[in-house]
Structure formats: C-alpha cells, structure tokens
C-alpha cells in the first residue's frame, strides 16, 4: 500500500485513473453480462428463471455486505488509509469473514427448510455467497487505496477464468444451475485469495476490531436499513413476477436487465472512483471542488445513459434475438420501459455518493423506504393489470421515487450546511 498513489491521484491525474476504473468495471459488467448470456442460451427458460432468482438472492445479500463492511469502508477507509491503514483493513477482513459465514449459514437454512433444492446445490450456493463477498471486499480495498492497476489485473484474471469455465461446461453439455454457480465460485476464490494484499492478512488487535465494528455500525446501520427497504422495493417485482406470472417471464425480464447493465459500467466505474475522491475533498473542507466533482459526474452519467438507452432501444429486438434466441426478441419493448429508469438512476447514484461522503447515509434509507412503500402499493395492480410490462414500470417507479426524496433533501439545504460546517 503506497501513499504515493494517493498523492499522485490527488495531484490531478483523475482522467487516467477514472478511465482505468471504467475499464475494470467493464470487465466485471461484461463478465456478468456474458455469464447471463451463456446460461440463458444453454438452459431452458424455466431453469434460467430459477438461476435468476438464486442470483438475485445473492445480490440482495450484497446489500448487507455493503451496509456493514464495504459501504463504510468506501467512505471511512480513505482517512484511515492516510493515517494508519493496514490495521484497519485487517479488521475489516476479519469482520467480513464473520459476516460472510453468518449469511452463508442463514442462506443454507432458508434454502433447506423452505425450498427443495438439492443439498449439493445449497452447499455450492452458500460457498459462492462467502467467496463472492470476499472477492468484493478485496475489490473495495484496492479501490480505497487507489491500487487500480492491481484491481484491473485481479478482475481480468478472475472473470476470464469464470467465462472459460462456463464456456467449457456449455460445450460439454454439462452446464446446469449447480455447475454455473460452481464456475462463479472458483473464479471468486481465485480473485479473493490470489490478489488480496499480503498486508491485509495477519493478526489484528482486538481493540482495532471492536473500534472498526463500532464505526461500521455507526455509519452502516442506515445502509443496513436501506438494504432491508431495498428488498421490499426493486427485487419484489422480480420475485412476484415468478409467483404471479411464471419463471419464463422472470428469465425475459432478467435478460433485458442484463442487456441494460451496459449502463452499469458507467455508473459503477465512475462512482467507484468518485467516492474516495469526493470523500478526500470533503475532509479537506473544499465545498466548491466537492460540488464541482459531483455535478460534472452527474451530467456526464445522465447524458451518456440517455444516449446508450436510445441506441439499445432502436435495435432492441435484433440485439435480444441475436444474443439470446429469437424467443427473447418479443420482449424488446422492455428495453424502452426499463431505459426510462437510467437517467434517474444516474442522478440517484451521484446523490448517494454525495450524502455518503458527507456522512449522511440515513438519506439513502429514507429514499429506499419511500420506494419500498410505493412498490408495495403498486406491485399488485401493475403486475396483475399490465403483466411483465407492469413489473418493468415498477422498476422505473423505484428510481423516480428515490430521485424525488434526494431532490427534497437537497432543496432543504441540509447537505450544503453539513459540508460547509
């Protein structure tokens, strides 16, 4: 871990680092996209729908990791790295191992008691939860210390391995839900264990672990509530689509979302790099520069997301038919609907960075809570009246709700007062 990385970055070399960050996120997003494509082309739609529900459950658990480990780490880790980072990161690793174990055990219990999945699939899925989260922790640490080249190498190796294993299994006609998760598990093990900084491993002081736990809780409890509220927001449309329509519709919805994830390259790549920068600017009490960084990022994301959405929409039927199969082409109208969410999502992503770097994570919870309430009210009439299109409209409604809450909080002047304080 080299402090020179921080100094060089802060000296004005933003563009190179941001582009490398976007390139790294491109690898991750492309891998996730191709993973969905390979599995969708190999499995029948109903099995792909079941895989989608399991993968969505894993993403929900990511929310709890973000709440109690990686979310606080992205913001609080900047100051700790500049002061005395290694002991702090060792503590975060131990906390992640505990959290990952708890989530894996709870998932095993739920899948064994309430669902009829084979025991081998349950074991692989729970190991997948543990190591995918560990891999994500390593990614966030490297983002935090701005070790972007190492991050890029790690993700390139891990995700190339995942895709090679999936293609091999598909070519041998052995690709199933279990094998798909096993491929993801193996690549996550490689990414998390081979590329974690050796300085992160080792014995951490008990006091440091306790202090890290307290700081994570003080900051992350709002993110935890946000994750709970989120579960009753966007994912509810996916799970209730499976319940009230069928798993084939879930597969179609996920296939379109997978196409739209091209926009996540911009959202995640830029904001992942923006967060430590905005946090450093906040700590330096430079309000004008902080505001400028966030405003420019927001404008760039909105313009580019609208452009990509329009291009994808114009060729949506051809793209879906070519990438998946002609059966998916009939769902091209979902691209037009879901694309409406992305300008709002771009704004919401930057607003989230703003409030978190200003140590106001509770605002994200307010936005998610409002979205959950609206989703619970709308989900039944939207899906029962409009079917799959209604589920897509519901996902748009969640982003609009978040944007309204963020706009209300910003217009109150609270954010400006906190930063200038």
Structure confidence at residue 419 (pLDDT): 55
The larger pLDDT score, comparing residue 160 to residue 267, is at 160
Q: Which of 16-25, 273-282, 287-296, 342-351 has the lowest mean pLDDT?
A: 16-25
pLDDT of residue 12 exceeding 50, the answer is no
- Which pLDDT value is given to residue 417? 59
pLDDT of residue 186: 96
| Each residue's pLDDT tens digit, 353-407 | 888 888 888 888 888 889 989 999 999 999 999 999 999 999 999 999 999 999 9
Q: What is the pLDDT of residue 203?
A: 67
Give the model's pLDDT for residue 385.
93
* Contact in structure between 95 and 213 (CB atoms under 8 Å): yes
pTM score over 0.75: no
The owner of tokens 């050796």 is 198
Quote the CA–CA distance of 37 and 162 in Å, as a whole number: 13
Q: Which residues of 303-337 are buried (b: 16+ CB within 10 A; e: fewer)?
A: ebbeebbeebbeebbebbeebbeeebbebbebbbb
pLDDT for res 7: 46
* pLDDT at residue number 178: 94
Better pLDDT: 102 or 114: 102
DSSP-derived 3-state class of residue 2: coil
Residue with tokens 């930057």: 350
Q: Is the Cα dihedral 348, 137, 36, 124 positive or negative? A: negative
**pLDDT recorded at residue 3:** 47
Which CA distances in Å does 79 have to 47, 275, 292? 46, 12, 21
Residue spans per domain, the chain: 1-219, 232-421
* Tens digit of each residue's pLDDT (9 = 90 or more) over 154-210: 999 999 999 999 999 999 988 999 999 999 999 999 988 876 665 565 666 777 788
pLDDT beyond 80 at 11: no
Q: At what angle do helices 247-260 and 316-323 cross, to 10 degrees?
A: 110
Above 70 in pLDDT, residue 214?
yes
DSSP conformation letters of 343-397: HHHHHHHHHHHHHHHTT-THHHHHHHHHHHHHHHHHHHHHHHHHTHHHHHHHHHH
Buried b (16+ CB within 10 A) or exposed e, 216-240: beebbbbbbbbbbbbbbbbbbbbbb
Q: What percent of the chain has pLDDT over 90?
A: 31
Nearest to 190 by CA among 180, 182, 178: 182
Q: Classify residue 16 by burial, with Cβ atoms within 10 Å: 0-12, 13-18, 19+.
A: exposed
Is the Cα torsion angle 389, 344, 273, 81 positive or negative in sign? negative
Residues 6+ apart with CB under 8 A from 243: none
Query: Pick the residue with more confidence: 36 or 14?
Result: 36
Look at residue 147 in the predicted model and tell me its pLDDT: 75
pLDDT over 90 (residue 141)? no
Instruction: Tell me the C-alpha distance between 283 and 279, whole Å.
Output: 6
pLDDT at 10 > cutoff 50: no
Residue 202 has a pLDDT of 60
Helix axes 341-357, 388-411, angle to 10 degrees: 40
pLDDT in tens, 382-396: 999 999 999 999 999
In the chain, the percentage of residues whose pLDDT exceeds 70 is 87
- Residues 278-292 pLDDT 10s: 887 888 877 888 888
- Between these two residues, 148 and 351, which has the higher pLDDT value? 351
For 64-109, write each residue's pLDDT tens digit: 898 889 888 877 766 555 445 567 778 888 899 999 999 999 999 9
pLDDT value of position 189: 94
pLDDT averaged over the chain?
83
Assign 313 to helix, strand or coil: helix
Token duo for residue 21: 């960050």
């Amino acid at each position: 871990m080299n402090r020179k990385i921080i100094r060089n970055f802060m000296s004005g070399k933003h563009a190179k680092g941001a582009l490398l960050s976007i390139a790294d996120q491109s690898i991750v997003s492309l891998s996730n996209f191709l993973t969905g494509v390979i599995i969708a082309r190999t499995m029948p739609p109903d099995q792909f729908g079941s895989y989608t529900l399991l993968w969505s459950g894993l993403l929900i658990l990511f929310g709890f990791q973000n709440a109690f480990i990686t979310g606080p780490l992205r913001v609080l880790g900047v100051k700790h790295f500049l002061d005395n980072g290694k002991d702090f990161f060792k503590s975060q690793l131990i906390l992640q191992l505990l959290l990952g174990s708890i989530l894996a055990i709870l998932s095993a219990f739920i899948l064994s008691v309430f669902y009829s999945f084979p025991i081998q699939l349950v074991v692989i899925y729970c190991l997948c939860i543990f190591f995918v989260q560990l891999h994500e922790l390593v990614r966030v640490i490297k983002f935090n210390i701005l070790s972007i080249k190492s991050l890029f190498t790690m993700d390139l190796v891990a995700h190339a391995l995942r895709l090679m294993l999936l293609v091999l299994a598909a070519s041998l006609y052995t690709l199933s839900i279990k094998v798909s998760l096993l491929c993801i598990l193996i690549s996550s093990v490689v990414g998390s264990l081979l590329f974690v900084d050796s300085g992160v491993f080792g014995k951490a002081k008990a006091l440091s672990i306790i202090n890290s736990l307290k700081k994570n809780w003080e900051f992350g409890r709002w993110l935890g509530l946000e994750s709970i509220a989120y579960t009753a927001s966007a994912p509810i449309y996916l799970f209730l689509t499976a319940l009230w329509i069928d798993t084939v519709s879930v597969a179609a919805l996920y296939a379109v979302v997978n196409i739209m994830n091209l926009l996540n390259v911009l959202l995640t790549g830029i904001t992942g790099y923006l967060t430590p920068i905005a946090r450093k600017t906040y700590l330096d009490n430079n309000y004008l520069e902080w505001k400028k960084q966030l405003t420019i990022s927001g404008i760039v994301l909105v313009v580019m997301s609208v452009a990509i959405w329009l291009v994808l929409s114009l060729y949506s039927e051809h793209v879906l038919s070519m990438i998946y199969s002609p059966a998916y082409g009939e769902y091209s109208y979902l691209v037009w609907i879901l694309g409406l969410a992305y300008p709002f999502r771009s704004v919401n992503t930057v607003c989230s960075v703003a409030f978190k770097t200003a140590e106001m994570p509770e605002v994200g919870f307010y936005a998610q809570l409002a979205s959950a309430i609206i989703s619970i009210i709308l989900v039944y009439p939207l899906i029962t009246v409009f079917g799959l299109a209604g589920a897509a409209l519901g996902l748009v409604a969640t982003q609009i709700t978040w944007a309204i809450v963020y706009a209300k909080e910003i217009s109150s002047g609270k954010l400006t007062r906190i930063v200038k304080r």
